[in-house]
Chains A and B, each alone.
Chain A
């Protein structure tokens, strides 16, 4: 990755959930923080998300799900990344996620889960501090 390149984030709504207020607000906040954000729109399969992340050369995948399907969808994305040998993309999740599901999602490789009420600055900070690829701006 080249010095000074903007952090590239692929924002995605996996599954059928149509609640996209949160992800759109986060897209706007990340853009304001100087990142480059590609939002996939609704109804993405895990396969589509992984393909888009690779095609867009994303440093970060940020997924949002408020329908309760996160356990299947988020872990499936991690599984597909692993199958393709991709280990340097930081993957984040958000939505209505019960406490008890968080350890499982983290064990699958989701770096952090952000729930309702999260300050967008906290997400910006988390991305900057935990980026797996180096030297991004």
Chain B
């Protein structure tokens, strides 16, 4: 008798036994379904993987379709990059936090910019009031950027910068700092987020509409391919889509659909897929459904490999590798009993590691209350170090492969994400789907469903809708940004404008405007403007005058 047949008989016996138990004692829930709407079986067996082909589905680490890992030795070679997103107040204060993090064993920098910087306003703009230095560091000009990286040799760190709409300007400032430090561009390693498409449905820091934004993005691809070859030119981000409320499947689907749009735009701009494909990187969320998250990362790797090879005809395996950064889920943190957030973050971080992330940010336990304090940041970093150095989970690659559950889930997440991608293709791609409001609507519906589940008690959040305490212990030492930061930034802007060669600035901005009106690559004129000490706001205003500003429809 063949083995599966034997198993079928055993399964039948098992089902009969279960039926008896259920008569006496029902299960905790009538139905077990994960956030993506995938039903979860009582038990998984080889019957769930009938016809499943190991070589086709997984391969080995470093082999197509890269389900197991993108790199042959994975964490046995080197742990992931421990990279805490940080930035607040002025460049000097953030620079001090970076020196502290590097001394604590962090292995890469991740720059958080304040909202005015992210939306291309100088600190003295009317809309910047109340926001300067709040959620990140305020950068108005090359002067600030030089202070931000004071004492940090740029050839010895990798730097990730969360900047999207004005990405070209911030990247140009980074290049100008490198030039001053005497570091050649080809020695620079790091990532810019540069992912505008998710800003419309999720993160909100857009300036221009999708179409001129796509041009800026492909200009960066093209420029970096030539001059900054080790730089990751984009971090296609599902993180914020998930934070905005999507499911795990939607996170994969919408992120990869955006990825497809960028690849297509670059090809349409005349580039070859293997020229820029290897420098694309991704950024995902790690939420609390442990196995779903691990399967999600594996499914995303396989799906992207197939997209690049089959859809875009990539030949270079590096173009097919989905390399990604992960951040634990900010939206899973509670303001109630905040120390519990340390545990949540640890489980999420472990899922990211078991899913094979290339770098990781762990959230601080006080983030539902304020910007993270130094102690909370340190505990978050230590969480990663404990996973790496104490749990031994990194000693073999993709340890959960072959689990009937994990493999079924990986297959199902891939299939459901593919369905969404097909639907988006039918709408004309991600840009069209965003313009139609389809992505926004899908995310909002999921977010509302999640909230209702909590309110109906179908989803338990410890300390929030169960196991509450009457008297909350207040966390100590929340970080406060000094309101005088804005005054200092504004004073510095005045000083800058008084001391620079204003004729040179005007000339550089005029040249940028002419370039923007044509179809030249905008990186060189932006770099020239940055070096002339034009401010971020001035450069973005020049582009606003040509490209216009995006207005989101009210609802």
CA distance A76 to B129 in the complex (A): 11
Report yes or no: B371 in contact with A19, Cβ–Cβ below 8 A.
no
Q: Which residue of A lies closest to B472 (CB)?
A: A99
Q: Which residues of B contact A98 (CB under 8 A)?
A: 369-370, 478
Candidate in A27, A43, A76, A119 with the most chain B CB atoms within 10 angstroms = A43
> Taking the complex as formed, is B494 at the interface, i.e. its CB lies under 8 A from any CB of chain A?
no
Identify A15's interface contact among B131, B244, B367, CB under 8 A. Answer: B131
Task: From A40, A69, A71, name the one whose CB has the most chain B CB atoms within 10 angstroms.
Answer: A69
Q: Which of A16, A39, A72, A116 contacts B115 (CB 8 A)?
A: A16
Say yes or no: is B448 at the interface (Cβ < 8 Å to chain A). yes
Q: Given A18-B204, A19-B204, verify A68-B334 contact (CB < 8 Å).
A: no
Interface majority SS (helix, strand, loop, mixed), chain A: loop
User: What's the Cα separation between A102 and B555 when bound, in Å?
Assistant: 29
- Of all chain B residues, which has the CB nearest A66? B135
Q: 0/1 per residue, A65-100, Cβ < 8 Å to B?
A: 001111111001000000000000000000010110
8 Å CB interface, B126-144 against A: 126-131, 134-135
Chain B residues near A41: list those with CB within 8 A: 552-555
Assess whether A21 is interfacial by the CB under 8 Å rule.
Answer: yes
B115:A67 contact, CB within 8 angstroms: yes
B355: Cβ under 8 A from any A Cβ: no
Q: Is A42 an interface residue (CB 8 A)?
A: yes
Quick check: A73 and B554 within 8 Å, CB to CB?
no
B115 touching A15, Cβ below 8 Å: yes
Proximity bits, A1-41, B CB within 8 Å = 1, else 0: 00000000000000111111100110111000000001111
Question: A115 contacts the other chain (Cβ, under 8 Å)?
Answer: yes
A18 to B555, alpha carbons, bound, how many Å?
Answer: 15
Tell me the complex Cα distance, A96–B115, Å. Answer: 15
- Set of chain B residues within 8 Å of A20, measured between Cβ atoms: 204, 244
What chain A residues lie within 8 Å of B447 (beta carbons)?
21, 24-25
Q: B127 touching A45 by the CB < 8 A rule?
A: yes
Judge whether B8 is part of the interface by a CB distance below 8 angstroms.
no
Question: Is B230's beta carbon under 8 Å from chain A?
Answer: no
Say yes or no for A130: interface residue by CB 8 A criterion. no
Whether A115 contacts B335 in the complex (CB less than 8 A), given A41-B554, A68-B371, comes out as yes
Q: Can you name 11 A-B pairs with beta carbons within 8 Å?
A: A16-B127, A40-B554, A41-B554, A45-B126, A68-B371, A69-B130, A70-B130, A115-B368, A116-B368, A117-B335, A119-B465
Which B residues lie at the A interface, using CB under 8 A?
A: 115-116, 118-119, 121, 126-131, 134-135, 199, 202-205, 243-245, 331, 333-336, 367-371, 444, 447-448, 451, 455, 461, 464-465, 474, 478, 481, 552-555
Residues on A close to B: CB < 8 A?
Answer: 15-21, 24-25, 27-29, 38-43, 45, 67-73, 76, 96, 98-99, 115-117, 119-121
Further pairs besides A20-B204, A68-B371, A116-B334: 12, Cβ < 8 Å: A15-B127, A16-B119, A16-B205, A18-B115, A18-B203, A21-B331, A21-B447, A24-B444, A25-B447, A41-B552, A41-B555, A121-B455
